[in-house]
Amino acid sequence: MIFSSSIFLLVFLPFVLIIYYTLYSQRLAQNIFLFLVSLLFYAWGEPWFVLIMLLSILVNYAIGLNIDLHRNNQVISKILLTITVLYNLSIIFLYKYLAFTITNINTLFSLTLPVPDIVLPIGISFFTFQAISYVIDVYRGQGEVQKNPLNVGLYIALFPQLIAGPIVRYETIANQINHRKENIADFSEGCVRFIIGLSKKVLLSNNFAIVADKAFSLPNDQLSTAFAWLGAISYSFQILFDFSGYSDMAIGLGKMFGFHFDENFNYPYISASISEFWRRWHISLGSWFRDYVYFPLGGSRVDSKWKLIRNLFIVWVLTGVWHGANWTFIAWGFLYFLLITIEKLTRFERTSGLRIVRHIYTLFFVCLGWVLFRSIDLSQACTYLGSMFGIGGRYTDSLARFYFLDNLIFIIFAVICSMPLLPYMKKRFHYHDLKISYILTPIFYIVLFFVSLTYIIKGAYNPFIYFNF
């Protein structure tokens, strides 16, 4: 089940909200209900995958208890921590990387080992990383151990962030599991945030997906330079509004139930360096690797540049691998490793100069990176990048002009929504001080919701990128 579906919007969410608030002031009953409907939400497409998540919950719950029990014995605690990390990563490896690994072994050594056809459980990387976060935070004393397995299950399986994040750190939500406070203000803000995310996904991302899919599906000899750039830019907007839209919906849904999740996007396309881009893009993943991998390795406070390069290499290869079992993702992660390493060694962000020049440099390489990310394999990525730079094709054609003009209004709105213009205008002109805003604002969001709902009901193109991760 996805948020941008009629079954979720018209049946699942209203039902869950009504029952949840019928149980108001009965926290245990609310938590049990949320856990059960979260399992139903996850099981909607592939019921058997729920068993994998339940097993993950029970194993991490048990290890968390034992780490807390042996807190004064560092040797046992570290052994238990190692076991839980290996267990969780082995689940990801089995379902996500085993077939990829065997395929490459066969190619490298000319073998014919059988390649298993394994279906990837939706969102496995997200809920597994949250499970790891629970045990590590208990080990570090940054969150109280849960004696009730229901609470661990609710943290890992809570449906707003289950499928595609944001990756909620246990220390962020530990106290909220039993002590959150629902109120009208949060519920209203949650509704608004959900509608904003829904409209990003349905009205912007889905329309850019049509252009991107067309460009990346064309043979190289039919792809002009102009259309290659239009396709790459369209995919850049598609993935931004797809993922940030889902994060907005998740954060909004969390607020409806009294949970407060951290922000996951902060206008990444206004960045003036690659390092800044990754402080603004998928913040929860970046902070997860920073706090659980980069800092334990020593971070940037190491005694040699080679150790710094090693730490960056490990983090960015892991970031690429996390996104999928394909050499394109590894190349994508390696590209960011090179760029961020150069920026850190040259102290790029401290250099003087026009921000607009650094901004163009950032967007240029981010766009090239998305070509790697979107391509089926490295061969397609190379030929597509070649088309972008005029190798082996025409510079423009009627197809590029048609798709550009047909989507011009979406491009304009995408550029506007990629910049913090609305927050600036609200702050600059004190929009909320105007009495008319109390009338116009609700009308605007109601209209936005029904326009998005209309697109969904009529069966508009509705892919979702991050289900694959």
**Active-site residue numbers?**
323
For every residue of 112-148, DSSP letters joined together read: -------PPPTTHHHHHHHHHHHHHHHHHTSSPPPSS
Calpha distance 158→145 (Å, rounded): 18
- How many other CB atoms sit within 10 Å of the CB of residue 376? 12
Angle between helices 378-388 and 225-256 (to 10 degrees): 120
For every residue of 70-95, DSSP letters joined together read: TTT-HHHHHHHHHHHHHHHHHHHIII
Calpha distance 187→273 (Å, rounded): 36
Angle between helices 27-43 and 49-69 (to 10 degrees): 140
At 420, list the tokens.
């913090």
Residues 6+ apart with CB under 8 A from 207: 407, 410, 461
Calpha distance 217→198 (Å, rounded): 27
Buried b (16+ CB within 10 A) or exposed e, 12-46: bbeebeeebeeeeeeeeebbebbbebbbebbebee
Calpha distance 369→160 (Å, rounded): 29
At 411, list the tokens.
């491009």
At 396, list the tokens.
């423009």
Dihedral, CA of residue 43, residue 48, residue 53 and residue 58, to nearest 10: 120
At 81, list the tokens.
């921590």
**CA dihedral for 361, 364, 370, 376, sign (positive or negative):** negative
Query: Is residue 241 within 8 Å of residue 414, measured between CB atoms?
Result: yes
Q: One-letter amino acid identity for 233?
A: I
Query: Is residue 151 within 8 Å of residue 31, measured between CB atoms?
Result: yes
Residue 271 per-residue DSSP state:
-
